[in-house]
Amino acid sequence: MNREIKRVTILIALMFVSLFVAASTIQVISADSLNNDRRNFRPVYDSYKVLRGSILVDNQPIASSVKSSDEFRYTRVYAAPMYSALTGFYSYFQGRAGLEGTLDSYLRGSNSSQFFEQLNAIFSGNPVTGASAELTIDPKVQKAAWDALGDMRGAVVAIEPRTGRILALVSKPGFDANLLAVHSGSQSQDNYSALLTDKNRPLINRAIAGDLYAPGSVFKLVVASAALESGKYTPSTLIDNPATYTLPGTKTAIHNSGEGKCGGAKKVTLAQALKLSCNIPFAQVGIALGQDVIRAQAQKFGFGDTLKIPMSVTPSVYPTGMDSSQTGLSAFGQFDVRVTPLQMAMISATIANGGLAMQPTLIDSITTANLQVLSAPTATEYGRAISATTAERVKSMMVAAVASGVSSNGAIKGVSVAGKTGTAQNGPKQPYTLWFTGFAPADDPKVAVAVVIEDGGGMGQKGFGNLLAAPVARKVMQAVLTQ
């Protein structure tokens, strides 16, 4: 009988082994995914106990937790709506968005890099204090961008070309994240509903994750880069210069923005076409290059890639499967080309940086309460988009566009500015999308910027990039340069 008892004992042992394995699987291996399940409210309740870390700009908190006398223990406080595109919000009832969401595990101290902090909390009985994140944002530049946009809907992104550090990131209208951090569920819900149904859609982060925008003429920077990189073009290559051009295989005629020839001559150089932002020469260049060459160039600049800054940036799109008429339209940023302002700023920054794209980032450092640095990203290369020669040539064209071309309102006295405007059409009778992207100073770039203004800046089809977007960009660049 003892032999059988021994076997039964082995069976019992196996049953317990399966329990040991199952418990380890749940509590260790799949713990992270279970904790992050959106049906799991424990992280929210847990956050009551944690002194959540701050989000800092130039050592001043733009989001921080202060003691409150109710059961929530802390209230999340936001400094200003101009930072709402960065912080997002942290609500006990509506969840988290923006950096509050992306950096959540750091801010509430549950990131795996804070293991010793957690261990210490277990043994000392003190709650975990979250880590704080210092951003790369320059408050003066951010403020300049916010103020310059005024009441217009749109976004501004400013990047330091050499490092990829984001100096300003504004989406307008912003919102008051304090409205969602309130401790009353019904109040929070009401405020949230109001923001959701606001026709100006303040919760949308237009700089990185809004509806993508048609880039219009600013996309010519990508086509010009592709043309020069192909070796078939130089800035002085001559292109046919008719006053109207019928897209191949269609009866659609396209025009330059001035409804005439691009300059007066029979032929126009590539440099001249960019400086004057002419559609017809670029349509021909685009068709001659072909969509695959343009797409490959766009991808080198970052199109199609979900950048993490660390929030996810919606990938910009260069369409596939176009016929040559559509390729022609795409060459001046129409048809289904769609971009984020961050992507456009990255293109200017790349040209400014001699063709080497840098990974854009918002994070300067993440530091625990006892000043242990958890993360301090260094400048990271994203990849070479164009050769140094091409970069230099495109830069010259952009400088000319501001100095004596159609992007003149980007000019700053005493500084050489490189820039490109855009005025994208969104369909018959729809207001235009206005653009400016560029960098300054051209010979030693300190800042690259992209500005988008929706809804024609309130002027319908009368607004254009140089009129409304370029001055905004100028103010942002000035804010960087006057430091």
Partner 1 sequence: MQVARVRQLGNPRNIEFALLLLVAGLYAFELAQIQLATVLVLRTELVLYWAPPVLLAFVMHLILRLRASEADWLILPIGLFLNTLGISVIYRLDIIKPALTSSGHAPDLFAQKQVIYTAIAMAIAAAVILLVKSHLSLRKYIYVSMVAGVLLLLLPLLPVIGKTVSGARLWVGIGSFSFQPGELAKIALTIFFAGYLVSRRESLAVVGRKFAGIRIPQARELGPIVTIWLASLAVLVLQRDLGTSLLYFAIFLVLIYVATGRPFYVVVGALMFVTGALIASRLMSYVGGRVDSWLDPLNEATYNAIGGSYQLVQGLFGLAHGGLFGTGLGGGLPQLVPLAESDFIISSLGEELGLVGLFAIFALYLLLIARAVRISVQHNDDFSKLLAIGFGFVIALQFFIVVGGVLRVLPLTGLTTPLLAAGGSSLIANWIIIALLLRISDSVPRLGVVTE
Residue 16 in contact with partner 1, rule: CB under 8 A:
yes
- As to burial, measured by CB atoms within 10 angstroms (0-12 exposed, 13-18 middle, 19+ buried), residue 319 is middle
Shortest separation between residue 124's beta carbon and partner 1, angstroms: 11
236 and 270 Cβ atoms separated by less than 8 Å: yes
89 and 103 Cβ atoms separated by less than 8 Å: no
Q: Interface with partner 1 by CB under 8 A: which range of 27-35, 208-216, 270-278, 434-442?
A: 27-35
Length of the chain: 483
Q: Clarify whether 217 is annotated catalytic.
A: yes
Shortest separation between residue 96's beta carbon and partner 1, angstroms: 18
Q: Interface with partner 1 by CB under 8 A: which range of 28-36, 91-99, 222-230, 240-248?
A: 28-36
Residue 373 in contact with partner 1, rule: CB under 8 A:
no
Q: Interface with partner 1 by CB under 8 A: which range of 23-31, 224-232, 355-363, 429-437?
A: 23-31
Residue 15 in contact with partner 1, rule: CB under 8 A:
yes
- Both tokens of 183, joined, read 């401790």
Measure the CA–CA gap between 115 and 217, rounded to whole angstroms.
50
- As to burial, measured by CB atoms within 10 angstroms (0-12 exposed, 13-18 middle, 19+ buried), residue 128 is buried
Q: Interface with partner 1 by CB under 8 A: which range of 26-34, 169-177, 348-356, 463-471?
A: 26-34
Measure the CA–CA gap between 82 and 156, rounded to whole angstroms.
11
Shortest separation between residue 461's beta carbon and partner 1, angstroms: 46
Query: Which residue's structure tokens are 């025009």?
Result: 255
Residue 244 in contact with partner 1, rule: CB under 8 A:
no
Residue 379 in contact with partner 1, rule: CB under 8 A:
no
228 and 386 Cβ atoms separated by less than 8 Å: yes
Query: By rule CB under 8 A, what count of residues binds partner 1?
Result: 37
Residue 23 in contact with partner 1, rule: CB under 8 A:
yes
- Three-class secondary structure of residue 466 per DSSP: helix
Q: Interface with partner 1 by CB under 8 A: which range of 21-29, 94-102, 161-169, 296-304?
A: 21-29
Shortest separation between residue 31's beta carbon and partner 1, angstroms: 4
Measure the CA–CA gap between 47 and 107, rounded to whole angstroms.
10
Which residue lies nearer to partner 1 by CB, 18 or 60?
18
Residue 38 in contact with partner 1, rule: CB under 8 A:
no
Residue 371 in contact with partner 1, rule: CB under 8 A:
no
118 CB neighbour count, 10 Å cutoff: 13
Residue 67 in contact with partner 1, rule: CB under 8 A:
no
Residue 232 in contact with partner 1, rule: CB under 8 A:
no
Mention every residue, 6+ apart, whose C-beta is less than 8 A from residue 94: 180, 188, 189, 192
Give the Å distances, CA to CA, from 49 to 52, 80, 109, 232, 373.
9, 25, 11, 64, 23
In sequence order, the β-bridge partners of residue 246 are 253
Query: Which residue's structure tokens are 């990039």?
Result: 465
Q: Interface with partner 1 by CB under 8 A: which range of 12-20, 224-232, 304-312, 439-447?
A: 12-20
For partner 1, the binding residue among 4, 71, 151, 259 (CB under 8 A) is 4
297 CB neighbour count, 10 Å cutoff: 25
Shortest separation between residue 75's beta carbon and partner 1, angstroms: 21
Residue 184 in contact with partner 1, rule: CB under 8 A:
no
Query: Which residue's structure tokens are 């300059």?
Result: 263
88 and 204 Cβ atoms separated by less than 8 Å: no
Residue 68 in contact with partner 1, rule: CB under 8 A:
no
Residue 20 in contact with partner 1, rule: CB under 8 A:
yes
Shortest separation between residue 282's beta carbon and partner 1, angstroms: 49
Which residue lies nearer to partner 1 by CB, 95 or 471?
95
Shortest separation between residue 121's beta carbon and partner 1, angstroms: 10
Residue 18 in contact with partner 1, rule: CB under 8 A:
yes
**Which of 64, 217, 330, 407 is labelled catalytic?**
217
Which letter does DSSP use for residue 72 in this model? T
Residue 39 in contact with partner 1, rule: CB under 8 A:
yes
Shortest separation between residue 29's beta carbon and partner 1, angstroms: 10
Residue 3 in contact with partner 1, rule: CB under 8 A:
yes
Longest alpha-carbon distance in the chain = 109
Measure the CA–CA gap between 326 and 295, rounded to whole angstroms.
13
Which residue lies nearer to partner 1 by CB, 22 or 243?
22
229 and 297 Cβ atoms separated by less than 8 Å: yes
Residue 199 in contact with partner 1, rule: CB under 8 A:
no
- Three-class secondary structure of residue 418 per DSSP: strand
Mention every residue, 6+ apart, whose C-beta is less than 8 A from residue 364: 134, 135, 136, 165, 376
Query: Beta 363-367 vs 132-135: how paired, if at all?
Result: antiparallel
Residue 5 in contact with partner 1, rule: CB under 8 A:
yes
Site residues (CB under 8 A) for partner 1, limited to 107-146: 119, 122, 125
Shortest separation between residue 100's beta carbon and partner 1, angstroms: 21
- Phi and psi at residue 458, in whole multiples of 5°? 85, 0
Catalytic residues, which ones? 217
Binding site for partner 1 (CB under 8 A): 1-5, 7-9, 11-13, 15-16, 18-20, 22-24, 26-28, 30-32, 34-35, 37, 39-42, 45-46, 119, 122, 125
